[in-house]
Amino acid sequence: MTSINKVGVIGAGQMGTGIAHVCALAGLDVVLNDVSEDRIKAGLATVNGNMARQVRRNRITEEQRQKALARIVPAKTFDGFGDCDLVIEAATEKEDVKRKIYVQLCPTLRPDAMIGSNTSSISITRLAAATDRPERFIGIHFMNPVPVMELVELIRGIATDDHTYEATKAFCQHLGKTVAVSEDFPAFIVNRVLMPMINEAIYTLYEGVGNVEAIDIAMRLGANHPMGPLQLADFIGLDTCLSVMQVLHEGLADSKYRPCPLLVKYVEAGWLGRKTQRGFYDYRGEKPVPTR
């Protein structure tokens, strides 16, 4: 059982659409916000397409899809968030972006409403301090793609109260997810381990130890990873990968977390991976083609 019946989702990108998708399928009402109407529309189209795929694969029925889609309401402003029990912020991985959102969001919420951030790496305690309710603020870190991945990391900030922790844990379980609890340290558990591995794969490319294809085949067949690290980096988004490495580098002050200059270059070029059709692979043709 969950005491959370209505969820606000901020950011209709890869993660926000996935979160809206699983909430709506679990029978919760959802309001979905982004910076523009076009972005929200594109997000809703993604949810629609992903649910249609689930119907084709017999994971859900057409009736479930229709009902779930009807539960997601677009919201251009935070006005529609006034009766949300929980708001999950899944906006761009930049601290100033998230802080500005909380300043606008908090006055529109019920005093008892909880806020979760889907941040991959930023301190929950610090983000919570930008709100009027640090005790009702928590990290709810879904994995990508949300409808497929079973894990959610829950991260308590220094002030997060027991009620918020228990209520959000029950909410994650209601979505069919398994929770792993992480302390509030840079990048938490999954990305603390995963991102340095991806960054090292990019150094391996940068130093010419192997090309894109060789590195990905090596890790798929040699370490039994379902995806190569560069393929995975494209999937996550290279901007997100860079942000996480910067948070690790600054937060732990250890040179082993130095972001690879090649990763910086790809992000500066706007080659952010699948979401911009180009990263370590070029996705504009029928098959992904390595860019190095």
| Active site (catalytic) residues | 120, 141, 153, 191
Number of residues that bind ligand NAD (CB under 6 A): 28
**Residue in 58, 43, 51 with CA at minimum distance from that of residue 25:** 51
What is the nearest approach in angstroms of ligand NAD to the Cβ of residue 13? 2
Under rule CB under 6 A, residue 139 binds ligand NAD: no
Choose, by CB under 6 A, the member of 2, 46, 54, 119 that binds ligand NAD.
119
User: How far is residue 226 from each of residues 11, 27, 150, 230, measured CA to CA in Å?
Assistant: 28, 31, 15, 12
Q: Look up residue 146 and give its two tokens.
A: 């949300």
**Side chain identity at residue 259, one-letter code:** P
Measured CA to CA, the distance from residue 247 to residue 276 in angstroms comes to 23
Choose, by CB under 6 A, the member of 51, 101, 205, 267 that binds ligand NAD.
101
Question: For ligand NAD, what does the binding mask look like between residues 225 and 264, x meaning CB under 6 A?
Answer: -----------xx--x------------------------
Distance between start and end Cα atoms, the chain: 50
Asked if 33 and 75 count as a contact pair (C-beta separation under 8 A), the reply is yes
What is the nearest approach in angstroms of ligand NAD to the Cβ of residue 252? 18
Angle between helices 37-56 and 14-25 (to 10 degrees): 50
Under rule CB under 6 A, residue 275 binds ligand NAD: yes
Kindly identify the residues of this chain, within the stretch 51-90, that bind ligand NAD according to CB under 6 A: 90
Contact positions toward ligand NAD, by CB under 6 A?
Answer: 10-16, 33-35, 39, 90-93, 97, 101, 118-120, 141-144, 236-237, 240, 275
